[in-house]
Amino acid sequence: MSMAPQPRVRVMVVEDSLVVRQLLVHIIASDPRLLVAAAVSSAEEALQEIGRVQPDVISMDIRLPGMDGLEATRRIMSEQPTPIVVIADSIEDSSLKISMNALRAGALTVVEKPVGLSSAGYAGIASTICTQLYIMSQVPVVRQRSFAPWREKTMSPAPRREAEWKATRPSVMGIAASTGGPPALAKILSALPANFPLPILLVQHMGAPFMEGFASWLNGLMPLDVRLAQDQEIPSAGCVYVAPGDRHLLLSPAGTLRVSGDPPLGNQRPSATMLFQSIARSAGPRGLGVILTGMGEDGAQGLVEMRQAGGYALAEDESTAVVYGMPAAAARLGGVNLSLPLDLLAPRILKLAQGDGE
């Protein structure tokens, strides 16, 4: 018996430039998983048409005449929640800032805008756009959050005795996220004080051209000093070191940062698992790991190794995660000491960092 073909994902394209709009329509139409349900040139038109078109996912330009893509994202997420993929110029500061704020307003990811068919990298960008539209169309953005009185769920017993751990003040923190990550990271990190006693190593899955803009956007939101990690740098307390685009970030046995072009792990570079594994090897019981919203399983195996080395691991709880993929995988493998909703993570991180144990 043959399987029925999967229905194609309906995409609405919002893009004011005719040339880019035609290019996007061409890219999307040539992917058998996707169907162009509508292509409009303004946010106003998108809002007017969305009820009729009922797209599964929206490709959103950020610089639009009239209402910009950020405001459009806000309106769509409040009126007719639909997965949104922001398509942005990777080099323009102003559009980068708007893109990052659109992620905060509920867009799921940001990808690079395609340029002409003949340009270098076109095929790669086109395939990234299609894959992201397809994957994001599956994210249930209308989430039933049951904010019933929340009970702390302590996860599977740690491989080591907890009492032993409590005496150990962490020396370094690793934090990782993927889909839904930028707003979650912004929320947690901006709640930490400037004199936070640990260096923080951060992995966020995002297109390489956006990482520098992402780091400077985060830096503008908080007391902590946020920057792209540099190879051989000595990490200092109260600083957040972001894995650069398409590079792994590791903590070397000597305690310095290592930025590496080693092959991707599980299709990811940077890999959260490789970050956590390096912290397990380098810091042992003095490692603190945090895993947030994201699709897939990156980071899970790394947190297992951190706990086996005597370290401590926190995960975002299902009640707040945009995509409960990475934290779920880590919890399932026994890589998590405690799962907490987003707003309870920063206070807990602060307590652990100050050596107050649980």
Q: How confident is the model at residue 148 (pLDDT cuts 50, 70, 90)?
A: very low
Q: Tens of pLDDT along 58-72?
A: 999 988 999 999 999
Position 46 scores a pLDDT of 97
Position 140 scores a pLDDT of 85
Position 151 scores a pLDDT of 54
Considering the candidates 137, 298, 317, 339, report the single residue annotated as catalytic. 298
Q: What angle do CA 239, 241, 247 make, to 5 degrees?
A: 175
Considering the candidates 178, 260, 282, 339, report the single residue annotated as catalytic. 178
Class of domain 9-137: alpha beta
Please give the helix or strand (H or E) that residue 36 lies within, else none.
Answer: strand 34-40
Hunting for tokens 């993570």 — which residue is that?
345
Arch. (CATH architecture) of 153-353: 3-Layer(aba) Sandwich (3.40)
Position 141 scores a pLDDT of 81
Residue 150 has pLDDT above 60, yes or no: no
Tokens of 290: 């945090």
Q: What is the overall mean pLDDT for the chain? A: 90
Considering the candidates 205, 248, 317, 339, report the single residue annotated as catalytic. 205
pTM over 0.85? The answer is yes
Tokens of 253: 């046995």
Q: How confident is the model at residue 209 (pLDDT cuts 50, 70, 90)?
A: confident
Give the whole-number percent of the chain exceeding pLDDT 90.
Answer: 80
Position 32 scores a pLDDT of 96
Active site residue 298: yes
Position 293 scores a pLDDT of 96
For range 267-278, the mean pLDDT: 97
The residues spanned by each domain of the chain are 9-137, 153-353
> 3-class DSSP state for residue 60?
strand
Position 55 scores a pLDDT of 97
Neighbours of 60 (CB within 10 A): 28
Q: How confident is the model at residue 131 (pLDDT cuts 50, 70, 90)?
A: very high
Please give the helix or strand (H or E) that residue 27 lies within, else none.
Answer: helix 18-29
E-strand stretches of 198-278: 200-204, 225-228, 239-242, 248-251, 257-260
Same fold, 9-137 and 153-353: yes
Q: How confident is the model at residue 163 (pLDDT cuts 50, 70, 90)?
A: very low
Q: Tens of pLDDT along 72-119?
A: 999 999 999 999 999 998 666 677 888 899 999 999 999 998 877 776
